Amino acid sequence: MQILTHSHQFFDILLLKDKEMLKKLLNTLIRPKVTNIIDGKTWIQKILLEEKFGKINS
């Protein structure tokens, strides 16, 4: 019976770690990336500057 008690604890910990890894994976896939937000801000600023000062060939 001693073996079953330890294996039960082991599988509880293993399942907990699996849940944590799955949660991290889903959060990584679902959440927007910070670089996309920065890239979007850059494009918006570029468009606003072009409207204000005209298009600059660069």
The reply to whether 42 falls in a domain is yes
Structural domain of residue 36, as residue ranges? 2-53
Give the Cα separation of 56 and 49 in Å (integer).
10
Domain count, the chain: 1
The reply to whether 11 falls in a domain is yes
pTM of the model: 0.37
**Confidence band for 1, pLDDT divided at 50, 70 and 90:** very low
The reply to whether 58 falls in a domain is no
Tens digit of each residue's pLDDT (9 = 90 or more) over 7-50: 777 777 777 778 888 888 888 888 766 666 677 788 888 889 88
